[in-house]
Amino acid sequence: MSASDVESIKKQTRTYIGVFVALLVLTLVTVGVSYLHISSVFLALALGLLIACVKGGLVASVFMHLNHERKIIYWVLALTVLFFIVLMIIPVASHLDQRAIQ
Amino acid sequence: MMDIPYTTEPRPDTGLYNAKLGIWLFLASEVMLFGALFSSYVLLRTGAPTWPHGSEFLNIPLATLNTVVLIASSVTMVLAWSALKLNDFGKYRRYMGLTFLAGVGFLIIKAIEYSTKFQHHLYPETNTFLAIYFTLTGLHGLHVIGGMVINGYFWGPGAKMWKTQPERFTNRIEVAGLYWHFVDLVWIFLFPTLYLM
């Protein structure tokens, strides 16, 4: 392994520690927000999920190396996201349909 | 006997060693498994006349601690892989050992949470919220146990491969890591969904 490889891995290690600290802070922020008892359920849900998405994004891009990965994996994940969205639309559509009937 | 192809060298058409594409396809199927349950959660919640705030039934400080434990284990896992990249097997062993212990810690805390629920006669059959809570966290817990079996194997007997095929072993740790980070990622979404909303 070349010296530049060693240096780049050491640099990555510092990034991992930085992400660790960011994840800890964001965990505390999520818990803190929940104690604010935001009256709007929608706002509380949106805020909680937004923070979770940032945390998830950090884990996926840095720990799972998605920030520099081969194209084929991005395609697999794009397809997964598409089907995941469909899965989430099903209950929402069902709920709206039920409301329309009532 | 023919060797398994593309364990270290990238396959020309994908640009990846086979196990890496394999684990990502598996994780895609896992997204659909947990996605279906998240979808059920949304359906149950929107269909229910009332829905409790997680804190009415669940212990937020314990779950916060568990979140920290799992995040820390993700860091030690990726550091274990980094250590192998730097040819430092001793460091790998320490970080992998810590990852395994964090898994044990997570399960102990989860067990304390579950047993407190049972002591208060709160079961999956008690209400819809607890039913989906036990289903989601139970399935996640099984994934943690599965990851610990893999990590334990690579910490112990499976580590022999480092002596004969270090590059292949490093790739195995990367793949095991991808699974472990996914388990962490699922928890990152479960925690606010079940406990904080």
Examine the domain organization and report whether A81 and A42 are in the same domain: no
Does residue A74 sit in the same domain as residue A27? no
Average the pLDDT over each of B52-56, B66-70, B97-101 and give the range with the smallest value.
B52-56
Give this complex's ipTM: 0.94
Q: A1 pLDDT exceeds 70? A: no
For residue A11, the enclosing domain spans 1-68
Q: Is B149 on the interface with A (CB under 8 A)?
A: no
- Residue B61 scores a pLDDT above 90: yes
Per-residue pLDDT band for A98 (boundaries 50, 70, 90) equals confident
H or E element, residue B150: helix B128-155
Q: Which fold has domain B18-49+58-195?
A: Four Helix Bundle (Hemerythrin (Met), subunit A) (1.20.120)
- In the predicted model, is pLDDT for residue B170 greater than 80? yes
Q: Is A57 found in the same domain as A92?
A: no
**pLDDT score of B60 more than 70:** yes
Residue A4 banded pLDDT, cuts 50, 70, 90: confident
- For residue B32, the distance in angstroms to the closest alpha carbon of chain A comes to 6
Say yes or no to pLDDT of B110 above 90. Answer: yes
pLDDT per position as a tens digit, A40-54: 878 888 999 999 999
Considering the domain architecture, whether residues A91 and A45 belong to the same structural domain is answered as no
Q: Which residues contact B172 (CB under 8 A, 6 or more apart)?
A: B19, B154, B158, B161
Q: Mean of the pLDDT values across residues B122-126?
A: 97
Q: Which of A7, A21, A23 to mutate to test the interface with B (most CBs of B within 10 A)?
A: A23
Q: What is the pLDDT of residues B19-59, one digit of tens each?
A: 999 999 999 999 999 999 999 999 999 889 999 989 899 99
Closest partner residue to B25 among A76, A88, A92, by Cβ?
A: A76
Q: Are B163 and B7 in contact (CB under 8 A)?
A: no
B178/A90 CB distance under 8 A: no
Domain count, chain A: 2
Please indicate, yes or no, whether residues A45 and A87 belong to a single structural domain of this protein. Answer: no
Restricting to B residues 62-101, those with a Cβ less than 8 Å away from any Cβ of A are 64, 67-68, 71-72, 74-75, 77-79, 82, 85-87
Residue B12 has pLDDT above 70, yes or no: yes
B40 touches chain A (CB under 8 A): yes
Q: pTM for this one?
A: 0.95
Of B31, B181, B192, Cβ closest to residue A49:
B192
Burial class of residue B57 in the structure, from the number of CB atoms within 10 Å of its CB (0-12 exposed, 13-18 middle, 19+ buried): middle
